[in-house]
Structure 1
Amino acid sequence: MSGFSIPAIAPIVLLIGSNIFMTFAWYGHLRFTSSPLITVILVSWGIALLEYCLAVPANRLGYGVYSAAQLKTMQEVITLTVFAGFSALYLKEPLGWNHLAGFSLIVAGAFLIFKKW
């Protein structure tokens, strides 16, 4: 695995974990629409705290290896990937060709951010 190092991989792993928590904090409650809104908010805040505990170190560790724009782009691509799986598996909402086409355009944008010209 030449070219890969712990400082390069750690932010990606932490961002994946962070985005799993973030997705549950923001959208997990949609399966519990009968729960009181205040309960949903408080539970979501608790989950979001775990998200921040991973996202902040990911960005701190990653900033020495990646630019801020690259970290943000990575986070967005990871967010969409996690959300696509969450939407299909947890919320049981099918992904259509239009979702995949839109996500592909975002990945193309990420390629441009990471490309050294």
Structure 2
Amino acid sequence: MSFWALLIFSALSIFAFRILPFFFAKSAYLSNQDGVFYRFLTYSTQAMLGAIVYATAFFSKDIVSFVSDFALVDVVKLALLIFVFIATMVTNRLLSAFLLSLVIFVGFVLWYMPI
């Protein structure tokens, strides 16, 4: 799969899995938040979001090319991804952690790698 095909598939599946519960709100499967089906929908959207983040951050590199071409900017990307994960788990607020890490990354790129 190409990057754009993966991105479009991921975006459509995230959209579908987030919208479907509204259409089937009265369903016993989707109204039970401790149920297997509800958990599957939640985990699948998180997995698709993770695939989009990885493809965007590391340009769909496989592990061999990632390790062989490892640079300081990759360390910063990994550190910020870990920071966003931990900050989201602690504060339960994804957007603020993401925006903070985005500002840090843009500042790093502008300071360390001038154009």
TM-score by length of 2: 0.32
Is the radius of gyration larger for structure 1 or structure 2?
Answer: 2
TM-score by length of 1: 0.31
